[in-house]
Structure 1
């Protein structure tokens, strides 16, 4: 080995950045290797014309009060480096001619809005939200106390509602409490932050999302995901960490069944006591390890049974009009074409169905620093899988992009009439775009397809060191999203430090 470190981290996505910063600040000499020219993975931005576009960050949960993400970023000396903006509401949920509500970030206010939408259901609404909160708080606490699982299981014994509902689908529980489809849709507003529709997501996972945002409130970051990535890098380097950009790792080296270092694309080898991979678990175990035989057979067998999760088709719009002129009052709007959940599922696998659902994000209701004065950055995000895009002939790709972007705009204009007329810049990223730039199978934005059969509760092997000397930290080993990725990676590395590793 040409050089030796305590730790080598492969990849500077948020999981890699959190791991590297935690370990370096914990006294471990850490080398962070990134194949791109900028750190951050999907937590980044790009420029078109006068506009800088946020790639992936919609809302950050966990930053208010004693939120888990704020605790981690405080410990990593990151919070003070950034300017934070609290969203005025959770979100707006809109279905043309059916639903138009703004959801507040407190449980009583939320119950009031839901009662106003569907009068006569308040007792069921209050009871349902109580179960959501109890289940969500248990899951959030359990995930940051993975080193104390016996205690979490003892607590679970005292929570009969959690045990009763946690592993049913969110849709099943909604159907038990309500008949009004509008109410069910609004309560499911945050499904897209996991990539699983209500009939596919476990109640415990949906409860975690809603509880996270109500309890700790949604936040924006001035400068977006790239500012967050850069702040983590600053903290890492100030603590003595070494970051190498444009450096591709082609192999994880093993000796005697343990990871001992990496081989770079230029042929150099670098040794370490611990290798942390921010790459997907499938990539790490089957393509990067020089000897996949060191991975336990049951782990590889489990991976073969799992599917890459959802990706997205994101239309980035630079709009020559202010948020007020466009009619935006909420930073995040969940826009559905109808109350039909199955149409959203069909649309996730189709390029011919009209776009049925969008996350409409306006980054200038409270300006986050991207758009020129008097202008607005808007991103229209449709949850989609890679398959329909991968099936296209190369010569048909550009036309398919243009057609799908028009379908997205058709739906968006039910919320923002005349949006097309004010567009100055437009760029569509498809699942193939995310696949190319992030190197994720299927362009998956949340890791594995974590439906009711594949909840994190069934996969404790994701959180183990299945190969001595190798730790995995990415969306593929946690619930997905900024909060889970950052918190889980940092807490796991803190656990290693506590054990003297």
Structure 2
């Protein structure tokens, strides 16, 4: 029976692909990009001219086809793809600079990335690289970082243990086996799961593009489990799968080191497998800094007649006769209506459904049902530290560090989030440390003699909530409390980088109350939580780009997955839904042509 189903799947895919290849309509995404220049240094003033175009009603393009709310990577990806397909697009953002978390800010002369660290799966001719080339006309260039991608530190003081993760098609697995020689078989099984989940994740994405009734049918009948085990891994908790493979708590912790909020007992094995595999072919950073990403995407949108405007807070999505038809922008206290037949929201599912829609739309049962699929993610806390001195002086590299208080993530997360407000700053169980200035070669020229460090951790919004509406003059207690978290995290980092302590020039903490002004609900920088319920296959199918409001679509992290790659794929699925064409097919065909071209050169 299984072989029959596999044959049928292959035959249907072959027939559909052959028909499309021979007579199907192909989009411009199948074509090679034109005039892809090498990296060109652009002044900050020139970049600001693109990234900081303020909203003006007179500057709005005429005859708009699409309005995108939010200029994060998911919104820009959808906008750029649609622009290349002939749509006239307007992107609106509330901030004074476009890019969402793909931007930097300056604090006392130091330039910090808001949330970007590095990106995987952008090796030559990968799907993600092909997509980024398409939405930037190939002008976005990446630097490949050192193969030592991550260090996982478990424990504190002399009892701490370090495990290193290296990129490399074969080296990643081999290096992990060297560190866990008694668990070599478990490592092999983990990498088989990673391969399955990465190779077959398109099946989960397709659940969002096929009719929902059909998705429910094949899921409820159990047919999908005969086709691929990815559906089993998607609905299985990470903790359960790991316990079935190994009792080594350190290995379990290393596999879960991409901690985004929910603990292993409440996350899908599939999402952890995909995140771990993400850097197997290397880690990359945009040459020239993170602002290069929105800068080049916006350039493409403008070349196709579109516009990206900032200081344009959208106060409401306009709905007429059950269909989205425009937005209102609060421009200097005046509500300005801008209309288009298609509205895309990159503001996150919670902001979109609970704040931007008019009350009568929010009350729709279908909207309420969609919201029940997702829970709000954990709040984030960030510390940005600048040092007087070059990276060589501090012996820091492009490697990221993941610190855990012990090897039981589930238990320490439960204990931490049960803490009182007073005790919480002293009980932080985990953190992420990165040195952005060590990742971009141009940083040495742009900011000579400076080193930047970024620390991320998770917190409970309720610990900060009492200060959310107070005026700045009454926030001394808040600043003191915030710095308790910041100092605890910084001191922990200095246990491993002692040379940093005496060279601090600036330390800047960002709590969930403000989160860079992104309006992230309750400080949830990753928006919806990636918990086990979200990644149940039937909920993956339900949580799609289309919404119960006609002509209103969602893009970004909440559509597919957290992180920057997740946001890009959210944009692809959104654009595919808008034009009713699976753009993945076009991108995959273009990818295949590029690979064939390389093979011919080698021959």
Q: Same fold (TM over 0.5)?
A: yes
In the other structure, the counterpart of 1:332 is 400
Q: CA deviation at 1:297?
A: 0.6
8 Å CA contact 2:398–2:436 kept in 1: the answer is: no
**Kept in 2: contact 1:295–1:466 (CA 8 A):** no
Q: How does 1:134-213 map to 2 (within 5 A)?
A: 134-140=196-202, 142-143=204-205, 146-147=208-209, 157-160=226-229, 162-190=230-258, 192=259, 194-213=260-279
**Counterpart secondary structure, 1:431:** coil
The CA distance in 1 between the partners of 2:187 and 2:440, in whole Å, is: 34
Q: Deviations over 1:256-315 (max 9, x none)?
A: 111111222223222211011111222222322235337741331441574310232111
Q: Which residue does 2:309 correspond to in 1?
A: 244
Render the CA deviation track for 1:362-406: whole Å, top value 9, x for unaligned.
123343544622331111111223222214584421111111111
Tell me what 2:532 maps to.
452
Query: Radius of gyration: which is bigger?
Result: 2
**C-alpha separation in 1, matches of 2:164 and 2:328:** 52
Kept after mapping to 2: 8 A contact 1:326/1:416: yes
Q: Which of 211, 215, 226 does residue 291 from structure 2 map onto?
A: 226
Answer yes or no: is the 8 Å Cα contact 2:63–2:88 preserved in 1: no
Q: CA deviation at 1:348?
A: 5.4
- 1:411 and 1:485 map into 2 onto residues whose CA distance is 31
Offset from partner CA, 1:125-159 (integer Å, 9 cap, x none): 21222122212322256427843587998775233
Map of 1:405 onto structure 2: 486
The change in CA–CA distance for 1:288 and 1:330 in structure 2 (over 3 A counts) is closer
For 1:125 and 1:114, the matched residues in 2 are separated by 7
CA displacement at 1:245 relative to structure 2? 1.9
Query: Is structure 2 residue 440 aligned with structure 1 residue 374?
Result: no
Question: Which residue, out of 121, 128, 133, partners 1:69?
Answer: 128
Show the counterpart of 2:183: 121
The whole-number CA distance in structure 1 between the counterparts of 2:455 and 2:362 is: 43
Unaligned runs of 5+ in 2: 1-56, 583-603
Deviation digits for residues 3-34 of structure 1 (CA, Å, limit 9, x no counterpart)? 64211111111111112111122111111112
Check if 1:256 corresponds to 2:302.
no
Paired with 1:110 and 1:22, the residues of 2 have a C-alpha distance of: 34
> 1:123 deviation in Å?
1.8
Determine helix, strand or coil for the equivalent of 1:73: helix
1:290 and 2:349 matched:
no
Among 319, 323, 326, which residue is 2:391 paired with?
323
Contact kept? 2:238, 2:272, Cα under 8 Å: yes
Q: Equivalent residue for 1:34?
A: 93
Q: Specify the alignment match of 2:509 in structure 1.
A: 428
Conserved 8 A contact 1:294-1:467: no
Cα distance in 2 between the residues matched to 1:267 and 1:426: 38
The whole-number CA distance in structure 2 between the counterparts of 1:114 and 1:333 is 16
Structure 1 regions of 5+ residues with no counterpart?
A: none
- 1:20 and 2:20 equivalent? no
Q: Which segment drifts farther, 69-78 or 391-400?
A: 391-400
Partner of 2:463: 388
Offset at 1:177? 1.2
Distance 1:430 1:370 in 2: 26
- Alpha-carbon offset, residue 438 of structure 1: 0.6
2:429 is matched with: 356
What's the TM-score, normalizing by structure 2? 0.76
Indicate yes or no: 2:48 matched with 1:48. no
1:224 is paired with a residue whose SS is coil
The answer as to whether partners of 2:425 and 2:488 remain within 8 angstroms in 1 is no
Cα distance, 1:63 vs. partner? Answer: 0.8
